[in-house]
Amino acid sequence: MVRFENVGLRYGMGPEVLRDISFSIEPQSFQFLTGPSGAGKTTLLRLILLALKPTRGLIDLFGHDVNTIQKDTLTALRRRMGVVFQDFRLLEHLTTYENVALPLRVQGRDEASYRAEVVELLRWVGLGERMHVLPPVLSGGEKQRAAIARALIMQPDLLLADEPTGNVDPSLARRLLRLFVELNRSGTAIVIATHDLALMDQFDSARRLVLGDGRLHIYD
Ligand SMILES: Nc1ncnc2c1ncn2[C@@H]1O[C@H](COP(=O)(O)OP(=O)(O)OP(=O)(O)O)[C@@H](O)[C@H]1O
């Protein structure tokens, strides 16, 4: 579903942050993306999300070359990807329920057609009791799970999560990992960017994409 061939990226006139990156993400696969701080994990995720264009090389996303993609195709491809940002990006004036339902509302869907779906997803992430409160009242871990639910409501083919356990204690990190593994078993491809070694060790059969010095090393 994602293929990079000799991709390079530099910001403005700066040095190349990513150099000759080649790899693929297969449907229903699970991988960690890791490497030291500043290695380019977020940059790589932003390339997949079409938030950045490569300076050189080829990126193929769901069978489309991102360099020649039309704007309407771009929107359709973005919809196939769910993303959990490092800083959650929840809207503070909307309840947990409303935040998670927002992508559906934006699509113009009628609330009656999705209410049960949103409630079920919120229960699945353990926020059944917190759906009517505003984000400032949620704990870090609850915000994290709300952000995950919002990324999942559109049933993406690919879920990208940037440091999803960065702000939670180890026991919640384990629960979140179980959530991602369960989701993967139901068919979603997953990329988790993290430098949490303990987290990766809990799922050591997962593929590891390791960034360092602008290059990518793959451990299957
Ligand atoms: N908008 C930008 N403009 C210029 N340089 C940038 C920009 N964003 C990131 N960089 C640089 O690109 C490099 C890679 O950054 P990136 O955020 O992708 O790394 P990371 O591996 O996600 O780091 P962390 O683990 O700390 O989040 C860093 O040297 C960073 O300073």
Q: Is 38 in the pocket of ligand 1 (CB under 6 A)?
A: yes
Q: How many domains does the chain have?
A: 2
85, part of any domain: no
In a shared domain, residues 61 and 114? no
In a shared domain, residues 45 and 102? no
Residue 132: band (very low, low, confident or very high) from pLDDT cuts 50, 70, 90? very high
What pLDDT, on a 0 to 100 scale, did the predictor assign at position 97? 97
Q: Is 40 in the pocket of ligand 1 (CB under 6 A)?
A: yes
ipTM over 0.90: yes
Closest CA to 122 of 130, 113, 133, 134: 130
Q: Is 11 in the pocket of ligand 1 (CB under 6 A)?
A: yes
CA–centroid distance, residue 39 to ligand 1 (Å): 7
Share of the chain above pLDDT 90, in %: 74
Domain that holds residue 35: 1-80+156-220
In a shared domain, residues 48 and 70? yes
In a shared domain, residues 149 and 161? no
Q: Is 37 in the pocket of ligand 1 (CB under 6 A)?
A: yes
In a shared domain, residues 172 and 111? no
What pLDDT, on a 0 to 100 scale, did the predictor assign at position 62? 95
Q: Which of 139, 155, 171 is the last residue of a domain?
A: 155
In a shared domain, residues 149 and 160? no
In a shared domain, residues 167 and 182? yes
In a shared domain, residues 2 and 75? yes
Q: State pLDDT tens for residues 98-116.
A: 999 999 999 899 999 999 9
In a shared domain, residues 19 and 76? yes
